[in-house]
Structure 1
């Protein structure tokens, strides 16, 4: 089940909200847990037991870690739990990748496993790992209530696509959270904004990319346009889903941390990764980079740490060499910035922004390829075109056709609109008008989203691949 579907919007979610708010507080977690199980079962019936098994394993492991006084025993419990979690992830997500590469290297003929990757496995596995490590470190106490812990791990707003929520961020809210009309209204507002990003921008940008890929005659400009459209598509797709998750969290009394902060206004790749998929980058920083020594080690070890983190960041995104290349690409750029050009970028803002956007577009060409050929061929045609024109009429036609959406997407990827509205709100008379018009605008926007969903079957979600 996806958020951007008629069933979720007009059947599942209203029923869950009604049930949630009519039961006493002591049953609210149970409602969320059961709703989350149904939510997952609706899309992944055969893997629902796997999700329950993961909940039980991590619940029991954390209790064992928390009760252990002997540090060695505590550490052994942690290691066993990490091996189980990573083992499940490796089996379902990476088995066939390893088999394919073994077959290639040794000219063998090992049969591929007939398995499909469970949706959201990367997200709930990393949440479980962060929880276990926090319990081991003593940052949080092991949750003794299976329902409340499973509610945390399986909570449907962030179950299948994040953001990756740490237990220590919301553990107090699991037992004592506040509900108010103000939070509910903020949640609805955030959800509708996220839904609009997904349906009205990401989906249409995806169509634009597909139309360009199906041109009778490609041009160098068409490859650049695809890179731009896909970069914006994946941003609005994923940030839109994060907005919907954060909005749903507010409706049910949870305050999830932000996952995106206008990454396309970044002035360096370092800055970009402070703004893009924040929950993942901070998780790797806190649970891998810093334990490895971070930058408080020799320069050689520090470089090693950067490469380890970004190799695994790329591999986390998918079982394919293009993702590994994508991670290593960022590792190299980040090292160059930190060692050579960081100060230069700070002094030359216009250049640094152009530089960042260019490197980000290249990165998403790498990200979008299903194999290395699909990575290098488009890049070659973008920079050293061969056997194609720089520009052709077909490309111009489609750019003109989707021009308004492209312009809207580019403006929406910046804080321009938000800043203007906040300035208007500083004037009392205008703030009253905005407060009156905003609910009407949200209702109309929801209806527009609904019309698009009813009328159109093109509704992919890119991060289901990961």
Structure 2
């Protein structure tokens, strides 16, 4: 089920009314959350509910065993079992054909031919997200950071919680799981915050992302026909598309969770206002970057040890992050480029330079900060070319054409692919985010109802005609 579908427009109010009509019965409320979540997920393909249920049951009982067993060797065996089960399922559904095809191509380059058929495997939506969520649960129990859940209903609701099930944020058990054990009392202020976030998220998805998608798709799908100006514009459109699409989903997810009395972690913090790549990764897909930090980077040694080990650890994290996004060499190269951009900051010890939010109260950025923001955005936009392209060769050709056809003349840009109105809309959107960057949504301060009215009008006039219903990160 999609957040921007008519089905969800019926589903959400019905679940909301039923949930709060059961106020005072926490167990039944959690059962309703669980049933609602399975209906939400099964709406896409009910066959994969069994996969979700298996992952839930496996980690629930492994978690109990990890807490019960005291022998380190036995506990490690249960942790390895969880890793094998979760990563094995993820690897089969997401990476089987990729590894098979890469293996065959490697042998063919040596003159050896294999005739091994690939499998027609459907990638279950959300599998990368809920797999990492359950993995963090068993790892944290093994590290004795949390206690195992004794309530199967609560744990199953935690794994399948429908607002963030298919595209995050990737929640930690320490934050989300205890919320299923707390008594819920309807909080009107929290509900209003949730509605504001839902409204802003829908605007970002249906107005900004989906409009940009029309132009980005047209340019990327026909890049051989255009000059550098058009291709640069296509990359910029995709930058706004993927940000508005994914952060829009997150806003809706956090907003829906608030309607039911839950607080999810923040996943985006205005990443395109970052002043270097290090700051960008502290602001973009925060739940994933912190997951890799806590469960890969730090166990590898983190920033301890020699310079070489620190560089190695960073490279591994970025390559794995790229691979997490999809079974294609384009994602791995995307991760590798970000590693190459990050490593100089690590060497010069400037990767954590902008931990503090100095300058966030300024009306306008300084000229120095503006140049850094523009430079970081340009680098990130360049890497998105690999992320968006169907193959490495297509990405390289796209980039090559930017440099071999250095023209930017409106007459070379087909009218249906070049929109002054869209550029104005993106400029206004960027300005609104800049002036509200200290808040989670722009419906704060002066002219609140005017801003809400403008967003609703935009949704009714532009958003309802969107043909791009799916969210980009559903494919991951």
Aligned to 2:141: 135
Deviation at 1:285, TM superposition (A): 0.3
Aligned to 2:54: 53
* Separation in structure 2 between the aligned mates of residue 409 and residue 453 of structure 1, nearest angstrom: 15
Q: 1:343 to 1:448 in 2, by over 3 A?
A: closer
CA pair 74-216 structure 1, distance change in 2 beyond 3 A: closer
Offset, 1:354? 2.7
The TM-score, its normalising length taken from structure 2, stands at 0.89
Is 1:106 matched up with 2:107? yes
Distance 1:355 1:31 in 2: 48
Instruction: Report 1:51-450 matches (<5 A).
Output: 51-107=52-108, 108-178=114-184, 179-213=186-220, 214=222, 217-340=225-348, 342=350, 348-382=368-402, 384-386=403-405, 389-395=407-413, 397=415, 398-412=418-432, 414-417=433-436, 434=448, 437=449, 442=452, 445-446=455-456, 449=459
Find the aligned partners of 1:207 and 1:121 in 2 and give their Cα distance: 28
Q: Does 1:463 align with 2:473?
A: yes
Q: RMSD of the TM alignment (CA)?
A: 2.6
Q: Distance in 2 between matches of 1:177 and 1:283?
A: 29
Give the whole-Å Cα distance in 1 for the aligned partners of 2:32 and 2:253.
Answer: 17
Equivalent-residue separation in structure 1 for 2:79 and 2:352 (angstroms): 44
> Residue 314 and residue 186 in structure 1: after superposition, are their counterparts in 2 closer, same or farther (change >3 A)?
same
Question: Tell me, what secondary structure is at the counterpart of 1:99?
Answer: helix
Shift of 1:129: 0.5
Distance 1:146 1:344 in 2: 41
**Unpaired runs of at least 5, structure 2:** 109-113, 355-366
Alpha carbons of structure 1 residues 350 and 55: separation in structure 2 relative to 1, 3 Å = same
Deviations 1:306-351, CA, capped at 9 Å, x for gaps: 1111110000000000100011111111111222483999895344
More helix by share: 1
- State the distance in 1 between where 2:441 and 2:120 align: 53
Inter-CA distance 135–376: structure 2 relative to 1 (3 Å threshold) = same
- Structure 1 residue 418: deviation in Å? 5.4
Query: Aligned equivalents of 1:57 and 1:293: distance in 2?
Result: 29
Do the aligned partners of 2:211 and 2:466 also contact (CA within 8 Å) in 1? no
Structure 1 residues 443 and 54: CA distance shift in structure 2, 3 A:
farther
- Asked if 2 retains the 8 angstrom alpha-carbon contact of 1:259 and 1:276, the reply is yes
Structure 1 residue 304 displacement after superposition: 1.2
Structure 1's 19 and 425: CA in aligned 2 closer, same or farther, altered over 3 A?
closer
Structure 1 length-normalised TM: 0.91
1:18 aligns with 2:25: no
Q: Hey, what's the Cα distance between the residues in 2 that align with 1:442 and 1:220?
A: 38
Per-residue CA deviations over 1:269-327 (Å, capped at 9, x if unaligned) read: 00100000000000100111011110111111111111111110000000000100011
Q: Does the 8 A contact of 2:223 with 2:231 survive in 1?
A: no
Q: Cα–Cα, structure 1 residues 104 and 217, in superposed 2: closer, same or farther, change >3 Å?
A: closer
Q: Deviations over 1:225-279 (max 9, x none)?
A: 0110001100000000000111111111111110000101100000100000000
Note the C-alpha offset of 1:410: 3.0
